[in-house]
Amino acid sequence: MNKIYTDRIGFTLAEVLITLGIIGVVASLTLPALIAHYKEQETSARLKKFYSIMHQAILLSEIDNGPIEYWEKGSMVRDENGHFDQAANNILAEEFFDKYLVNYIKVIKRGYTTINGRKLFQIYLPDGISVIIGNGGCIDLVVDTNGDKKPNFLGFDRFIFLICPNNKPAFSSYDSTLDKDEAITKCTTEPKYCSRVLQLSNWEFNDYVYPLVKQSIN
């Protein structure tokens, strides 16, 4: 009976430690990119879903309330000093939502949140998205793709959409007149335009350039 003998069996402790060190270095280099890619995919999917939900809600509401160009939206209110009247505009935003949208969107929670000292009307959707709704020149929708989780910056996890009944299209990302190159340029310094970049990229982050500034809601 023949036997095969070897000088040793298995690995030494030093070899195991070296291997684990190499694995750790590779993981530290690749994991951040994988996590960032996953977050982009998640954000992309949620923006697509939100846009579809809103588009469908408007179509259904038009059946009951007539064409959107005839929907009543209160003019932006200013106080006696000419400053934006947050409380009065909150009321108008909530009235618009309750009249034209609430019956066509599943909302699990609604209320007010405070950002930068401002009290803002907010709703939560079943998939974790939150939407701040404001009344200005249009109805402003600030979509937070991960709810109240950080970073809470425009162009990162928050994106602005508009409902402007007198415009075509009435529902769109911020400034639907911009082409992709214009939107990319503006997005880098003014994050409110970043939703336009993504809309023109089918909500994918392939060509997306994150803003140079981390800006909350002004």
Query: What residue ranges in the chain does DSSP mark as E strands?
Result: 109-115, 118-124, 130-135, 139-144, 158-163, 171-173
pLDDT value of residue 6: 52
**12: pLDDT confidence band, cut at 50, 70 and 90?**
confident
Lowest mean pLDDT among 71-80, 118-127, 185-194, 209-218: 209-218
The pLDDT of residue 38 is 74
The pLDDT mean for the chain works out to: 89
Name the amino acid, one letter, at 199.
Q
Contacts 24+ apart (CB under 8 A), 55-61: 55/171, 56/104, 57/101, 57/104, 57/105, 58/101, 58/104, 58/163, 58/170, 58/171, 60/104, 61/100, 61/101, 61/103, 61/104
Q: What is the pLDDT of residues 145-186, one digit of tens each?
A: 999 899 999 999 999 999 999 999 999 999 999 999 999 999
DSSP classification of residue 199: H
- Per residue in 85-113, pLDDT (tens digit) is 999 999 999 999 999 999 999 999 999 99
Where do the structural domains in the chain lie, given as residue ranges? 13-199
